[in-house]
Every structure is written in structure tokens, then in C-alpha cells.
Structure 1
Amino acid sequence: MQGFQLTLFTIENRRHHGKQLSHWLLQILRELQIRGATHTVAAEGIGHDHRFHTWHFLELADRPEEITVIATEQEVQRLFDRLAQEDVQVFYAKTPVEFGFLGKSSAPETQSP
């Protein structure tokens, strides 16, 4: 299949509707029935504002986070529409990809996009 790898970037202390933004985004991805997502927490990073983001043993609020999604063009558009509706500001990278499953036993049931 053809689609996109979409990576959303945030930091741990960002909130939306009282929830950690990364957790809220995962909830929305599930609601929209996007195929899957991976949430990654990093030790360090430099933001678009050139500020250094890192975590400390006692203070975890500034840790960089990424949510990576592989989705069809229609799925990505549904997500972007929802983020616009919610007025969520989040930095993203979107790259065209080919995706699918290899092997008969490892492939879950196919769903129409």
C-alpha cells in the first residue's frame, strides 16, 4: 500500500483537555481507527525554538516525545482535520512510504482503508 509515515513531535509537559498531549493524540488515533502508532520518549532533543529539551532524574516534564504513524493519505487527512478542529498546534514530519506485511502467518486480517 502507499501512504505516509507521519511523526508528531511534542514534549511531556504539553497538555490538551487536561491530558498529556501525547496520550491525547494516541487516544484520537485510536478513535479515528488509524492502523497503529508508536509512542517514543527520548532522553534529549533540540526543539524548533532551538531550546535544548532533556529529562532530569527529579524533573521529567521536558522530555521530548514522538508519535510515529504509518497511514494512508485519507487517514492522515482525517487526523489533520481533527487536529484543526481541536486547534492543536503540533510539529510534524510527513514522508511518503510503501507499507504492508510479509509472510502469511504474520499478517492480520486486511481492512479496507
Structure 2
Amino acid sequence: MNTVCLRVFASEASHHHGKLTYEWLLDTAQEMGVGGGSAFRALAGFGRHGRHDIGFFELAGELPVVVEFLVEASVADELLKAISEAGLKLVYAKLPAGIGITE
């Protein structure tokens, strides 16, 4: 089994086809038969557009959201292809992963 952790990064307020981008990613993965995925909102982050923190004066929608999937490498590639074909330009990381269940 060649399992990977696919992490896709988006701005919390970005939209695609009338949905928040992270919702579109989760919905698309589910429609493709992916067994599960999660979206995580950051407390703070920085990148090419500067630093953003949760705070009273922070502009809404500027914090990053990470959407994560633990899937076979081939499924990750299919999902990345769907993202590209949808015209989205998102940063991602595809990392080797082991999956287990504690007893």
C-alpha cells in the first residue's frame, strides 16, 4: 500500500463554483469515493501576502485552511488532477504516510 497524506492549502474565504474552496475540495473528494477528509482552520499563518492572526482587527477570510486526506498515492493524483481541471491553483503537499488504529 502506497499511502500518502495530501494537504491542500486555501484561504478560508476563497470560493469556487459558489462554494467555499475547502467545501468544494471535500465535496469533490467525497464524490470521487475518498473515504474521508478534514478541513482545519489556522490560528495564524504567513506567506507571500504577509502574516495573519486571529484577532479583533484581522480581516475576515485571510487565514489559511488546510484540507487533508489520507489516501493511496494514485487517488491523491486523481484528486490533484480534478483540482487542476477545475482551474484552481492551490498549494499542496503530498507526504508518505502510514495508517494504523490504536488498540
If the TM-score is normalised by the length of the shorter chain, which range does it land in? Answer: 0.7 to 0.9
1:57-81 deviation line (CA, Å, top 9, x unaligned): 4743112110111000121111011
- Partner of residue 109, structure 1: none
Say whether residues 1:7 and 2:7 are aligned partners. yes
Identity of aligned residues (%): 25
Per-residue deviation at 1:14? 1.1
* Root mean square deviation of aligned Cα: 1.8
Q: Distance in 2 between matches of 1:57 and 1:15?
A: 23
- Aligned partner of 2:54 in structure 1 is 55
What SS does the aligned partner of 2:22 have? helix
Q: Please tell me whether the aligned partners of residues 55 and 62 of structure 1 are also in contact (alpha carbons under 8 angstroms).
A: no
Letter aligned with residue 76 of structure 2: V
User: AA paired with 1:36?
Assistant: G
**Which stretches in structure 1 are left out of the alignment for 5+ residues?**
104-113
Distance in 1, matches of 2:90 and 2:54, equals 20
**Counterparts of 1:72-87 in structure 2 under 5 Å?**
72-87=72-87
Partner of 1:98, secondary structure, is coil
Deviation at 1:102, TM superposition (A): 4.8
Q: TM-score of the superposition, structure 1-length normalised?
A: 0.79
* Whole-angstrom distance in 1 between the partners of 2:28 and 2:46: 26
Which aligned runs of 4 or more in structure 1 are off by greater than 6 angstroms? none
Given the alignment of the two structures, is residue 68 of structure 1 paired with residue 68 of structure 2, yes or no? yes
Asked if structure 2 preserves the Cα contact closer than 8 Å seen for 1:2 and 1:99, the reply is: no
